[in-house]
Amino acid sequence: MKKAKYAWRLQEKSELPTEFTEILTNEKINPLLGQILWHRGIQSAEALETFLRPTIENLYDPFLMYDMEKAVTRIQDAVAQGEKILVYGDYDADGITSTTVMKEAIELIGGEVDYFLPNRFKHGYGPNLSVFKEQIEEGVQLIVTVDNGVAGHEAIEYAETQGVNVIVTDHHELPVELPNAFAIVHPKHPKGAYPFSDLAGVGVAFKVATALLGELPVEFLDLVAIGTIADLVSLTDENRVLVKMGLEMIQNGERIGLDVLIHLAELKKESITEENIGFTIGPRLNALGRLGDAAPGVELMTTFDEEEAKEIALYVNSQNEERKEIVSRITKEAFELIDPTDSVHVLAKKGWHEGVLGIVAGRIMQDTGKPTIVLTIDENNELAKGSGRSVSALNLFDVLNEIRESFTHFGGHHMAAGMTLPVENISKLKEHLMHYLEAKQIDLSQGQELLIDETLKIEEVTLPFIQQLKILAPFGTDNPVPNFLFEDVSIEQSKQIGADKSHLKFQLVQSNAALDAIAFQMGSQIDELGQGKTNVSGQLSINEWNGNKKPQLMVNDFSVDGMQLFDLRGKNNRQKEIPVTNTLFIYFNENNQKLINDPAANRVLFSHIEDILETIKTNQIEQLVFVDCPDDLSLIKQITLQGQIERVYLMGISPEEAYLNGVGTREQYAQLFKFVKQQEQVDVRYKLDNVAQYLNIQKKLLIFMIQVFFDLGFVTIENGVLRKVEKPENHPLSESKVYQTRLKRIKTEEFLLYSDRETLQQWLWNEEEV
């Protein structure tokens, strides 16, 4: 049995009202897709029209936002009076696009405006007091923050005392006490009446720009789409409208720097999607601030010089490549520090680049399903700084807020947090998290929840159906790509692909219908496929190759019902990882216990079948590992069919190699008997290799033959010295118990080590005998 990585939650079917089904029919929308729309809150003709065909009219009045009129008037006055204005942004993709929108909007009304993006390593996040002081000394008379500011009390207070107004435009969580700014434009402002609270920083900046210009600046929608997608805010309501129109603007617009970046990323501008932005463009812009100065991002978005655009875009690409290399290295090092028995992972090491630790924490959390904090330790071994990523079952901000005094700096939300703390508090941090999970009885063993939108039969997957799924796009937070479940399917043509064989390619087969599937980063699980009833979850796409189009499933999880057999026979297969939790390693020969080095392995030496069964029962064993071969093949079956065994790993190591070496020929026994008669004694401890070479008999076979002679009384062995017995009784070889056992062992090894896995599996779970 293979459990799913995620906790699957199947969306319940709803009986759609007749009125809504008629709407679906008129729109020629597949009823399966109608179910998805209904569960995502699209339940009327008006809602469906807005969802499918959003327009400018679906955007809200920017003046519904608190302080909007006050902020706009102040900016207009500053422009009229020729004041020097500073746009103070942030170092991520949302901050870069927010800064660009605000800067260009103020320029359009004739303002003298400059911008500043803080360096995360020098200035940290948000308003920085020393930067504000420096900018004011250089003549700045008005500061407009974008994508930050609601937590910048000290710097903002200083500016206001110097007679420099600060207008905050932000979307982050509001603190209990707001800063003393001239105006705070925020969709969640408690005194505001804005109908949508989930705008990104660039969305708020766009609203200010709209109010400032007195019309909708459609030329900024490309930037709005990039910042909104990259910041992972909800892609519903107004954000859906902004992103959908923004993607069209990217496809048809003429922002030189963005066009060059798209070209270098090998994307097609005319068919750009939210996925391209989220996984290709956004990370490139984010890479700038992760490694250093994010200002080139604004320069790229605002330049009118194609040569300059190419130069900056190449730099952006190089920074992203460096970022990927750093992430790959740190992720590998971090995984090596993981204790799989821990309920949370708190990983720290000197020399890790702090700018990418959030990405690393996210990858580890996704892979393990456990909350993860990754920290870099400074050169003086005094402070640790980093990021954490959590699962939905654990509010990381709340649990860490309980020990806020342990941190030098701390902030975050439900799923993510950033922190700085003394090195000596790292262990306290981990202990607190583990204790919290235990005290609250939070079970992480089921993995994160995965919503399954529909259960499909393979025959229902058609090109028209997949193409119609695109009406749900753009996909993102709160409007994810639909997940479909295929139950009780057969797996065929499975193979590992990719340079390092890290991915899987296979076919799902059901009732003579087949569906191609790709499973990224699941190459190591190839042995799991094709055993028992398989259930596969994933997202549908169209694979186009040489003009041919075929449906394809992008697999995100799968499970296998029933017992499974894993083939670890042979030296290469022995390198595969075996889980030790709820696992029993069984040996039939005590000399073979040294074959497994893992100190955490639960081991038992076979003595009586009753002892084994009691061990399985009392230790809640779910997995068995047969390390070596028994003499009696039926023992493996007897043990396996007891208890709640889900997985069996067969190593079947045979140091004697009985099947390969056999029992020896009559001529070999005669040759050995003649040799023994000619010798007074032979020290087999030291001379065995010489004897084997002299007789031309394989060493392991020779050892067995000597044991047979000893068993029959033909020789004696004392302290490693073999001596002949004068006038021994005549016995046929078959009377030797050692010989008889060898024959049984040969039969066992022949079947156990040289049958294919399917034959073994059928024998193991059924009543058949060999």
In which band, very low, low, confident or very high, does the pLDDT at 419 lie, cut at 50, 70 and 90?
very high
Residue 265's pLDDT is: 96
Residue 597's pLDDT is: 80
Residues 6+ apart with CB under 8 A from 6: 369, 447, 448, 449, 450, 537, 556, 557
Q: What is the CA radius of gyration of the chain?
A: 35
Mean pLDDT for 557-566 is 90
| Burial of residue 27, with CB atoms counted within 10 A of its CB: 0-12 exposed, 13-18 middle, 19 or more buried | middle
Mean pLDDT for 628-642 is 87
In which band, very low, low, confident or very high, does the pLDDT at 335 lie, cut at 50, 70 and 90?
very high
Q: What percent of the chain has pLDDT over 70?
A: 99
* Domains, the chain: 7-39+450-561 (2.40.50.460), 58-248 (3.90.1640.30), 344-439 (3.10.310.30), 564-655+750-765 (3.40.50), 659-735 (1.10.10)
Residue type for 678, please? Q
Residue 91's pLDDT is: 95
Residue 22 has pLDDT above 60, yes or no: yes
Residue 751 has pLDDT above 80, yes or no: yes
Residue 766 has pLDDT above 80, yes or no: no
Residue 614 has pLDDT above 60, yes or no: yes
Residues 6+ apart with CB under 8 A from 44: 20, 23
Name the nearest CA neighbour of 583 among 633, 645, 651, 527. 645
H or E element that contains 95: helix 93-108
pLDDT digits (tens, 9 = 90+) for 651-667: 999 988 999 999 999 99
Instruction: Provide the 8-state DSSP code for 278.
Output: I
In which band, very low, low, confident or very high, does the pLDDT at 1 lie, cut at 50, 70 and 90?
confident
Question: For residue 639, how many other CB atoms are within 10 A of its CB?
Answer: 22
Looking at 2-16, 71-85, 603-617, which range is the least confident one? 603-617
Strand bridging mode 183-185 / 165-169: parallel
pLDDT digits (tens, 9 = 90+) for 130-159: 999 999 999 999 999 999 999 899 999 999
User: Rounded to whole angstroms, how far apart are CA atoms 361 and 140?
Assistant: 39
More reliable by pLDDT, 264 or 547: 264
User: Rounded to whole angstroms, how far apart are CA atoms 289 and 167?
Assistant: 23
Name the nearest CA neighbour of 169 among 188, 155, 154. 188
pTM, two decimals, is 0.84
Token pair recorded at residue 323: 């970022």
Residue 767's pLDDT is: 55
In which band, very low, low, confident or very high, does the pLDDT at 610 lie, cut at 50, 70 and 90?
confident
Residue 770 has pLDDT above 70, yes or no: no
pLDDT digits (tens, 9 = 90+) for 28-54: 999 999 999 999 999 999 999 999 999
The answer to whether the Cα torsion of 201, 206, 211, 212 is positive or negative is: positive
pLDDT digits (tens, 9 = 90+) for 463-508: 999 999 999 999 999 999 999 999 999 999 999 999 889 999 999 9
Q: Which residue has the tokens 């504000």?
A: 132
CA distances from 672 to 56, 315, 574 (A): 97, 77, 36
User: Rounded to whole angstroms, how far apart are CA atoms 150 and 661?
Assistant: 78
Residue 594's pLDDT is: 83
Q: How many CA atoms lie within 13 A of 572 on its CB side?
A: 0
Residue 108's pLDDT is: 97
